[in-house]
Structure 1
Amino acid sequence: MASDTVPLVIGGQDVLTSDTFDVVSPATGKFLHKSSSANVAEAVAAVDAAAGALSAWSRTQVHERRAILLRAADVIQTRGDELKSAMRDETGSDDAWGDLNLRIATETILYAASCLVNLEGKMPAIADPGREALLIREPYGVVFSIAPWNAPIPLGIRAIVWAVGAGNTVVLKGSELSPKSLHLVCSVLWEAGLPPGVLNFFTTAPAHAAAVTSAVIAHAHVKKINFTGSTTVGRIIAQTAGAHLKPVLLELGGKAPSIVLEDADLALAARHCALGAFLHAGQICMSTERILVHERVRDEFATELVAAVKGEGALVADALRKGATLLYGDHDDEEEHDAKTRMRPVVVAEVTPSMDVYRTESFGPTVSLISFKDEADAVAIANDTEYGLVAAVFSRDLRRALGVARKIETGAVHINSMTPHDEPSLPHGGAKDSGYGRFGAGFDEWTRPKTITFDSQPQ
């Protein structure tokens, strides 16, 4: 990136637009750099470039695509410090979060490359004598990917590599909060040898985002959309795509519960609940937002939790007004920073369904402690939410924990581990208002089946 302005990249060419927006540090409030802001015409040009590259790219041999991904894994490691620095500036993350993000991104690239050898068809048996059938999988075409700001390295990578690995071309819309980070993610693939037009990149100012996004979704060349972000925006994306009968993969918000049964290792559970709630200041869709603890061990667990927490303001204030008690933290107390954007970890007890914090995703360092009477009560509370992304269960009895896990309405349940868990070999996605479709675990999400029948005994 030669200038201080993040460019669009369309058909392999940098595009600096006359319309730009400022990017500021969430940690300090200070100006970082400018970013180009795409209008509808420029976003459409990105789609056209992707469509122009599709025919050649979709016919590229699997071993060639695999080689590019393997080179990308090397490039991202070589440029790791550059990527982590950009993410730290734009998201306010710490070094540990940057290291974790880089590791997950690298593993995602390598796993996608390994899965390419499994792109294969089938010959199912059919009833029609003298005829046979082929079931093949083919790329959708142009994929429109929308990546968020909070973990731009791995979430940008996963929005790209699965799609291009399967033979699709991609238009990536980067978050206006982390445009440089996501531009650098794309540059890893370009440096690895991805041909011009296969991956195109744009960002746009918030004032134009709705119009630009709608235009791209409506474009005839766009065949599939994936979005990671809030449920509110995801619902709009789904409605817009539905009007054009286009499939969507949505990974949306969460209100992850961690259930602590009375036979759990309380120290272990407390550590994982604290880490799951406050990793990256709770700004993860999988963050632990509700800790459900058996009433018999509630006090003992609370002591362990406070100890673990020691080594979101509006939601907390609402809960306190409605009768909650503050078990640990001070929602008004801020660290000494140049910008008032930091918040101490807060644990709220005696939370009831009438409180906003019971149902609303905080996306911040806030967790609620809720007591339950028995397993049925715990499951009912865990499922008493419109979200269904992930959950955790803590128990020394694996069979019992598995029984509870099966009853929780989420895309994943982690036993004796924290709710944030991202593994490229596992399908990742949610239920209910947390979205549908799955990232990871292969290329089925990025290819569509095609049936071909033919005479096996031609005359």
Structure 2
Amino acid sequence: MSQATPTLAYISGSWRAGGGGTFPVYDPANGAEIARVADCTPEDVAAAVDAASEAFKTWRLTSPKERAAILLRIRDGLNNNKDAIATILTRENGKPKGEAAGEVGFAASFFEWFAEEGRRQYGETIPSPAPSKRLVTVRQPVGVAALITPWNFPIGMIGRKVAAALAAGCTCVLKPAEDTPLTALAFAKVCEEAGVPAGALNVLPCSRSRVQSVGAALCDSPKVQALSFTGSTAVGRWIYQRCGTTIKKLSLELGGDAPFIVFPSADVGKAVKGALAAKFRNAGQTCVAANRIFVHESVHDEFVKQIAEAMDAELKSGHGLENGVNHGPVINQRQFDRLVKMIDESIAAGAKVVRGGKPGGGLFYPPTLLTGITLDMPVAKEEIFGPVAAILKFREEEEVVRLANGTAMGLAGYFYTGDVGQAWRVAEALEVGMVGVNEPMVSTCEAPFGGVKQSGLGKEGSLHGLDDYSHIKYICFGV
């Protein structure tokens, strides 16, 4: 990036003040104010949507090859500025810089992937039932896409959405999370320098007090033809209802509550390593984080022993810009207070503390290990979204599959086993959109990401990632 991190909104190719003044962005690791950022309003939304609608007239007509060239320049811009963007991300999100740098690379991978997939949006030739007709289909972009992204992966989720939308021929209005707007604005700068046409990408940060009005303006606009949201199920339901009047294409990636199962045939050491990654990455603040950890009674004690030792040896708390730190703070006071209440109530209900369990200083919550969990405890009923591993015992495969599926959510699930037959049975039986079998890291640009039940609609990434930003047009020729 050629200049300092932007703090203004990005609308129609220019940097503008927000109609609501500015709002502060804080470093969750120490509470320091980092910057003051443009606070956008519904009026700013209207300006951005108009700009995107106008830009769509020409962007949709660019060839897939031309769009691919721009996407590849965005990829290069992200990779070339990885250190600078990772530093911004760590300061406003709190995750360790190594993780932040990995996330920038993850975002870049989607621009490479969709640069290629955009050139393969094939239509079909359909055998005609009549000799006088020829039937074909073509794919076309839907129009302006509104993209609402979360704070826990402030550039990874932007990359996954923007790359697909631009590759399909759509133009974008992006609203980043209020906790992490600086990363989104740094991304906009990369796109500007990569030659994204004015209006094809617009970025509207806003304060928490304006989130609902700005979101409503995006949902209500008839010029917005697609909306993609990553966040909580509660907000997803509201968006789903709000978009009903304008009948938009929707893709929703919502709450998690992922089960993590350790069967008796599993390699316990590998299962511990997998649980550590699936549970404590980004301080447990991921939608696919292991939430309920079911361990067979025959290996329960050994698993608890090994994971406690691994937590002691491998997890180091601190500011994400410090060397060796791999465990950062909770994002904000609201999330921190929710986490403390959940853990305190579970301990009061009988959960046994093996590690952690008491708040640290500021927004730091220590890596925590709880055993003796029962299904009526908050940590078993709610999505924890924090660095707390809650262990439940089980006896039979059928029992644990039933327990794992006993939730309204269905995003991801994980299990460890040495039994090939069991691997297939359980993978097919889990009511989730993604399964990791002896593997905790399932996200990649090549594979479809998305859930079932109340974890959302649609798929991001993979060859299916263009579907939410395009429609199939059928053409019938008389000959």
Both structures adopt the same fold (TM-score exceeding 0.5): yes
| Structure 1 counterpart of 2:355 | 329
TM-score (ref. length: structure 1): 0.95
Q: 1:4 to 1:427 in 2, by over 3 A?
A: closer
What is the aligned counterpart of 1:405 among 402, 420, 427?
A: 427
1:155-182 C-alpha deviation (Å, 9 max, x unpaired): 1111211001110000001111111101
Matched, 1:416 2:442: no
1:86-125 C-alpha deviation (Å, 9 max, x unpaired): 1011001112211220221121111111212211111111
Structure 1 counterpart SS, 2:124: coil
Structure 2 CA distance, aligned partners of 1:117 and 1:50?
22
Matched, 1:430 2:451: yes
1:256-271 correspondence runs (5 A): 256-271=258-273
Matched, 1:370 2:397: no
Contact 1:145/1:173 (<8 A) preserved: yes
1:342-381 correspondence runs (5 A): 342-381=364-403
Structure 2 CA distance, aligned partners of 1:4 and 1:416?
41
Matched, 1:450 2:473: yes
| Structure 2 counterpart of 1:388 | 410
Matched, 1:314 2:337: no
Structure 1 counterpart SS, 2:299: helix
Structure 1 counterpart SS, 2:286: coil
Q: Could you list the structure 1 runs, at least 4 aligned residues long, displaced by more than 4 angstroms after superposition.
A: 1-5
Unaligned runs of at least 5 residues, structure 2? 314-338
Offset, 1:288: 0.8
| Structure 2 counterpart of 1:35 | 37
Q: 1:381 to 1:21 in 2, by over 3 A?
A: same
Unaligned runs of at least 5 residues, structure 1? none
What is the aligned counterpart of 1:173 among 172, 175, 181?
A: 175
Structure 1 CA distance, aligned partners of 2:72 and 2:64?
12
Offset, 1:65: 0.5
- What amino acid is the match of 2:423? A
Matched, 1:6 2:7: yes
Contact 1:138/1:447 (<8 A) preserved: yes
Structure 1 CA distance, aligned partners of 2:68 and 2:471?
20
Structure 1 CA distance, aligned partners of 2:6 and 2:133?
60
Structure 2 counterpart SS, 1:123: strand
1:8-407 correspondence runs (5 A): 8-17=9-18, 19-311=21-313, 312-326=339-353, 328-334=354-360, 340-407=362-429
Q: Percent identity?
A: 31
Contact 2:448/2:459 (<8 A) preserved: yes
Contact 1:5/1:36 (<8 A) preserved: no
Matched, 1:441 2:443: no
Offset, 1:375: 0.6
Contact 2:308/2:355 (<8 A) preserved: no
- What amino acid is the match of 1:416? N
Structure 1 counterpart SS, 2:213: helix
- What amino acid is the match of 1:7? L
Structure 1 CA distance, aligned partners of 2:359 and 2:382?
22
1:187-218 C-alpha deviation (Å, 9 max, x unpaired): 22221111101001101121122112111211
Structure 2 CA distance, aligned partners of 1:356 and 1:364?
13
- What amino acid is the match of 1:182? A
Offset, 1:2: 6.4
| Structure 1 counterpart of 2:336 | none
Structure 2 counterpart SS, 1:370: strand
Q: 1:4 to 1:258 in 2, by over 3 A?
A: closer
- What amino acid is the match of 2:210? H
Q: Say which is worse superposed, 251-260 or 186-195, in terms of deviation.
A: 186-195
